[in-house]
Amino acid sequence: MRFIIYLAVGFFGGLLGGMGMGGGTILIPALTVLCGVPQHLAQSANLFSFVPMSGISLKVHAKNGLLDTKDIIWTIVPATVLSVLGAIFVQGVSAGTLRMGFGLFLCVLSVFQFVSAIRAAIDKARSGAGRTGGAKKTGAAR
């Protein structure tokens, strides 16, 4: 039974990771809550699984023309440096603090996504309202 849970966790984490949504948002909580994996180990497993997932996803996205590499170096360099610094820093952080920080991050991310979705819906409603008002033109002279 435990194997099936790990398999399902990996499946859904990989699915989200492949779509570029961050499989760790599912993988880390699922490993800690459902599988009882310690927080540090769950985050390490997430990082380890990210390597093949990102490589395959990059290949697929590039093949489909969905990869913009212009100025990517400005993202890669700081992300790499801060990843190393974060890995060094987290070694001295307790599992409880790490779990709380990750939970807080997910809550802030959720609020941000919710507000963005509300704004997009409002903008869509406003732009749609301007086009539907008035008489419909048929193109026929009367």
pLDDT of residue 124: 93
Query: Residue 142: its pLDDT value, please?
Result: 41
DSSP 76: H
Segments of the chain scoring below 70 in pLDDT: 20, 129-142
* Per-residue model confidence (pLDDT) at position 3: 87
The pLDDT value given to residue 131: 59
> Residue 126 has what pLDDT?
92
The pLDDT score that the predictor gives to residue 49 is 84
Q: To the nearest whole number, what is the mean pLDDT of the chain?
A: 84
Instruction: Residue 19: name the closest of 74, 58, 73, 69 by CA.
Output: 58
User: Which residues are within 8 A (CB) of 88 and not within 5 positions of it... i.e. 6 or more apart?
Assistant: none
For 99-136, what is the HEC assignment? HHHHHHHHHHHHHHHHHHHHHHHHHHHHHHHHHHCCCC
pLDDT for 20 equals: 66
Residue 132 confidence (pLDDT):
54
pLDDT for position 115:
96
Please tell me the distance from the alpha carbon of residue 31 to that of residue 16, in angstroms, as a whole number: 15
